Structures are given as structure tokens and as C-alpha cells.
């Protein structure tokens, strides 16, 4: 009998994995994601590597001469006695990337400054100019107060704040943590759980409807028990999901790896522009990049710290819990979806049943997102224990730390509930798949639950 279920699992798995749409989704999705991140980054880096000369024209004043520092690929040339109208049409021929025009009102009107260029200037360049000017203007303004030893005071006053969060667990162990990392993990984990459960649960439903409307099911149930067919389908699709997930993980690692090497080749590390670094943050590479970069840039050394605190997360617990909640949560919802699929004659009829099923999932997702802001809230606590929402919410809570008794209670309830749901779904499914042309209601399904063999 087990043999038959494995035949069914094999079919469910192979027909889906061989589909063009599956192959495209599986391979293209991470590539597209990577392209979205890599291409702008590379573009920006290439742009910034070009050496650019910028003409600076101050109208009447001479406040900023030499105050905007040159960088490796930016040179600021101060032109005197030239008006902007003289250069406006010929700056490119003269070898300038653009003209920076500073009007005398700059001290009082901060936007009295213009950058003329033929192309959209990179953000890094603009930030560099803005920062330099801001600093200079501040200085000028402070000077107006006539304070003695201003420079020294300023040097003493300059500070950078960065909070170190340290978590003490029950046994008094101290761990450096990062709320940012926990939030990111909560977000990714919760959302991934929601997507996987919903996407593949809905696939189960569609599969059941396909079998029912095409009447294949009539043929199959003469060879296998309906429960075997249902479980075969649910397990087969779970394996499809797992395959896709694993391929995504591997592809992401591979892409991240190659990205890292290109990034490292393309630029020497110190001038890894802020923007590039910021976009990289979204990618997994940040971890690798961070570790291999000498801590010259403060921002980059922050990645190092981030990496350290990321490593301090209870990864084992997170991964095991994720797998546990994925399996039980998927089984729970997939069996509900299978029961719904069996009760209807076509996909449009599913809507009346979908709403009550979607509500707990969406609620779970919303509470999970709220958990990121306030991990200790009562709502999060209860939603992470109640089985219908717990897979999503608990996964979002774990990075912030969850007492073991809560985890155990939640998991225990989950096991009991999923078993009960699979059992009930099987009963509904058994009757539903052979029932045609009848508008099914919840009441009707309740009746099926109580039919004997």
C-alpha cells in the first residue's frame, strides 16, 4: 500500500518539476533578483570609476575654494572670472563632466547651488558635494558666533553613536545581538513561511480540482484509497516546494559568490562606494564582503559587526523550527486546501471557502510583521501559540528569543492540530471528490465528516 503512495508521489513530483514554468521560475527568479541588484551596482561603480573633472564657479564670493575635496576619481577645478553662461555650452569640449555653480546666497538659502551636466550625475558624487558644502557652511555659521578655540571644540565634540545591544539569556550568558538582524530574520522567515504555505497549499487545491473536474479521480480511487491519493499529492507537492527552495538557496549562494568576486575585482576595496555597499546590503554578499574588507571604511566595518551579530543568532534553532513549522503548517493548510478542492466543481467555486482559510494566514503575516516592531506583545505571543497562525508568527518571534516552554507548547499544539486537520480533511475529501453538480456548503462538508466508511 505504501508502494502506491510512492507511485503517486512520484507522479505528482515529476509532472510538476518537469513543467516549463517550474524550471523557468526556479532558475530565473533568483537570477532576476540578482540582476536587479547587481546591474545597478555595477553600473554605478563603473560610472564612478571614470575620472571626472568638475568646474566650480562661485558667483562673486570665494567661500568654498578648496573646500570640496578631490577624490580618486573626482576633481574639482575652481574657475575664476568665468561666468556660467560662458561655459554653459562648451564645458564638455573643455573636458568637464559638469559645472557646479554656487551662488552667493548659499549661506542663507541652502539650495542656491546647481550642478549642470549632460548626464544624470551619480548619487555618490552628489552626496560628496552636499556633505562637503554642509560642513563648510556649518563652519562658517559657527564662526559667526566668534567662539574661541572653535576648531578644537569641534574636534572634541564630534561623536558617532552606535548602540551595542547585548542580550542576556536565562543562564546569564551574554551575546551581542542586533535588532536589525533579528528584524530582518523575522521578516524573511515570516514572509517565506507565508509564501511557501500559501503557494504550495493552493497548488494542492488546484491539483485536486483538476483530478475532480477531469474525472481522473474516478479511475484512481478504484486502485487506491482516497486518503492515499490525497497524501500522495500533498507530499509530492511538498517535495516540489522543497526542491524549489533548495535550488533557490544554492543559486543564491552561487550568485552571491560570483558577485563577490566580481565586486572585489572591479574595485579596490576602499573606494567601494557607499551606494554600492548599501545596495549590497540587500544581498547575502554583504556577509562575505564584510569579512574580507579591511576596516578602513567605518561603514564596511559595521558590516563586519553585523556579520558577527548575525552569527550570534540561534541558527540551529531557527532552521530546525523553520523546517518543523513548514512541514506541519504546510500539511495543515494543504489538507484544508485539499478538502476545499474536493468539495467544489471548479476553481471559481472555491472563493466562498477561501476566505475563512485566508484570514488566519493573512492575520498570521500581519502579526508577524507587528512582531518585528514589538516582539513581546500579547498578540504576538498568542498568535505564535495558536496553531493556525503559529507557523508564521513563531518563526518571526524566534530571532528575538522565545522561552522554550512557549516553543514546546506551540509545537505540541501544532502537531495535534495538523493531525486532526489531516484526518478531517481526509474524510471530507473522500466524499467530496465523488460528489458532482452540487453546490457545497460548510454545512454539507460537516455532514460528510460524519459519514461512515
Partner 1 sequence: MALFEAKNVTKQYGTQLALDNVSISVPEKCIFGLLGPNGAGKTTLIRIINQITGPDSGELFLEGKKLKPDDVLRIGYLPEERGLYKKMKVGEQALYFAQLKGLTKAEAMKRLRYWFNKLDIAEWWGKKVEELSKGMQQKVQFITTVLHEPKLIIFDEPFTGFDPVNTNIIKNEILFLREMGSTIIFSTHNMESVEELCDNITLINKAKTILEGNVDDIRRQWAANEYEIVFEGNAALPEQEKINILKRHDENGRTRIRFRIRDGIDTNDVLGNALVSGRIISFNPALPSMNEIFIRVVESRN
Q: Which residues bind partner 1 (CB under 8 A)?
A: 1, 3-4, 7-8, 11, 15, 210-211, 214-216, 218-224, 226, 434, 436, 447, 451-453
Bridge pairing between strands 98-102 and 52-58:
parallel
CA end-to-end span of the chain: 18
Cβ nearer to partner 1, comparing 3 with 111: 3
Least distance to partner 1 from the beta carbon of 24, Å? Answer: 16
- Beta-carbon neighbour count of residue 297 at 10 Å? 17
Of 228 and 252, nearer to partner 1 (C-beta) is: 228
At closest approach, how far in Å is the CB of 211 from partner 1?
A: 8
Rg (CA), the chain: 31
Q: What is the nearest approach in angstroms of partner 1 to the Cβ of residue 210? A: 8
Query: Closer CB to partner 1, residue 127 or residue 210?
Result: 210
Comparing CB distances to partner 1, the nearer of 1 and 168 is 1
Contact 204, 234 (CB under 8 A): yes
Contact 53, 78 (CB under 8 A): no
What sign results for the dihedral spanned by CA atoms 433, 438, 440, 441? negative
CB nearer to partner 1: pick between 77 and 435: 435
Per-residue exposure over 62-97, b if at least 16 CB sit within 10 Å of its own CB, e if not: eebeebbeeeebbebeebeeeebeebeeebeeeebb
CB 402 within 8 A of CB 384: yes
Q: CB of residue 450 vs partner 1: minimum separation in angstroms?
A: 10
Query: Closer to partner 1 at the Cβ: 423 or 451?
Result: 451
Q: Angle of helix 315-343 relative to helix 390-397, nearest 10 degrees?
A: 170
* Residue bearing cell 540587500: 282
* Smallest distance, partner 1 to C-beta of residue 9, A: 12
Cβ nearer to partner 1, comparing 346 with 452: 452
Name the H helices within 267-345: 274-281, 285-292, 298-311, 315-343
Q: How far apart are CB 15 and partner 1 at their closest, in Å?
A: 6
* Residues 336 and 361 sit within 8 Å (Cβ to Cβ): no
Cβ nearer to partner 1, comparing 18 with 155: 18
CB 293 within 8 A of CB 300: yes
Minimum gap (Å) between residue 218 Cβ and partner 1: 4
Instruction: Give 15 or 351: the residue with its C-beta nearer to partner 1.
Output: 15
CB of 231 to partner 1, least distance (A): 14
Closest separation between CB of residue 247 and partner 1, Å? 22
Give CA–CA dist 288/258, Å, rounded: 11
Counting other chains too, the contacts that 156-160 makes at CB distance below 8 Å and 24 or more residues apart are 160/298
Amino acid at each position: 500500500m505504501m508502494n502506491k503512495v510512492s507511485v503517486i508521489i512520484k507522479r505528482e513530483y515529476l509532472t510538476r518539476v518537469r513543467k516549463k514554468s517550474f524550471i523557468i521560475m526556479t532558475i530565473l527568479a533568483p537570477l532576476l533578483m540578482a540582476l536587479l541588484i547587481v546591474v545597478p551596482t555595477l553600473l554605478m561603480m563603473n560610472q564612478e570609476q571614470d575620472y571626472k573633472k568638475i568646474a566650480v564657479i562661485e558667483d562673486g564670493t570665494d567661500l568654498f575654494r578648496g573646500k570640496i575635496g578631490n577624490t580618486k576619481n573626482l576633481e574639482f577645478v575652481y574657475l575664476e572670472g568665468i561666468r556660467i553662461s560662458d561655459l554653459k555650452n562648451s564645458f564638455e569640449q573643455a573636458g568637464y563632466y559638469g559645472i557646479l555653480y554656487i551662488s552667493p546666497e548659499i549661506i542663507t538659502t541652502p539650495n542656491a547651488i546647481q550642478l549642470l551636466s549632460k548626464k544624470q550625475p551619480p548619487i555618490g558624487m552628489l552626496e560628496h558635494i552636499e556633505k562637503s558644502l554642509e560642513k563648510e557652511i556649518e563652519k562658517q555659521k559657527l564662526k559667526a558666533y566668534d567662539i574661541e578655540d572653535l576648531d578644537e571644540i569641534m574636534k572634541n565634540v564630534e561623536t558617532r553613536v552606535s548602540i551595542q545591544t547585548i542580550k542576556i539569556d536565562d543562564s546569564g550568558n551574554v551575546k551581542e545581538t542586533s535588532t536589525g538582524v533579528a528584524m530582518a530574520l523575522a521578516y524573511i522567515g515570516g514572509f517565506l513561511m507565508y509564501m511557501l504555505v500559501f503557494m504550495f497549499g493552493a497548488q494542492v487545491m488546484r491539483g485536486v480540482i483538476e483530478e475532480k473536474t477531469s474525472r481522473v479521480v474516478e479511475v484512481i480511487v478504484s486502485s487506491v484509497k482516497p486518503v492515499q491519493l490525497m497524501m500522495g499529492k500533498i507530499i509530492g507537492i511538498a517535495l516540489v516546494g522543497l526542491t524549489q527552495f533548495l535550488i533557490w538557496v544554492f543559486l543564491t549562494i552561487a550568485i552571491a559568490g560570483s558577485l563577490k568576486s566580481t565586486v572585489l575585482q572591479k574595485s579596490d576595496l576602499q573606494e567601494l562606494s557607499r551606494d554600492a555597499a548599501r545596495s549590497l546590503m540587500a544581498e547575502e554578499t554583504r556577509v562575505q564582503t564584510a569579512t574580507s574588507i579591511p576596516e578602513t571604511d567605518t561603514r564596511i566595518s559595521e558590516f563586519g559587526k553585523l556579520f558577527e551579530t548575525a552569527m550570534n543568532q540561534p541558527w540551529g534553532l531557527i532552521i530546525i523550527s523553520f523546517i518543523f513549522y513548514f512541514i506541519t503548517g504546510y500539511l495543515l493548510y494543504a489538507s484544508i486546501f485539499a478538502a476545499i478542492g474536493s468539495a467544489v466543481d471548479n476553481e471559481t467555486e472555491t472563493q466562498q471557502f477561501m476566505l475563512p482559510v485566508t484570514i488566519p494566514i493573512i492575520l498570521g503575516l500581519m502579526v508577524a510583521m507587528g512582531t518585528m516592531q514589538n516582539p513581546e506583545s500579547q498578540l504576538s505571543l498568542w498568535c505564535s501559540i495558536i496553531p493556525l497562525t503559529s507557523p508564521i508568527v513563531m518563526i518571526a518571534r524566534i530571532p528575538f528569543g522565545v522561552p522554550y516552554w512557549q516553543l514546546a507548547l506551540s509545537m505540541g499544539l501544532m502537531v495535534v492540530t495538523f493531525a486532526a486537520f489531516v484526518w478531517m480533511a481526509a474524510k471530507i475529501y473522500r466524499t467530496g471528490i465523488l460528489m458532482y453538480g452540487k453546490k457545497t456548503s460548510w454545512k454539507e462538508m460537516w455532514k460528510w465528516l460524519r459519514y461512515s466508511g
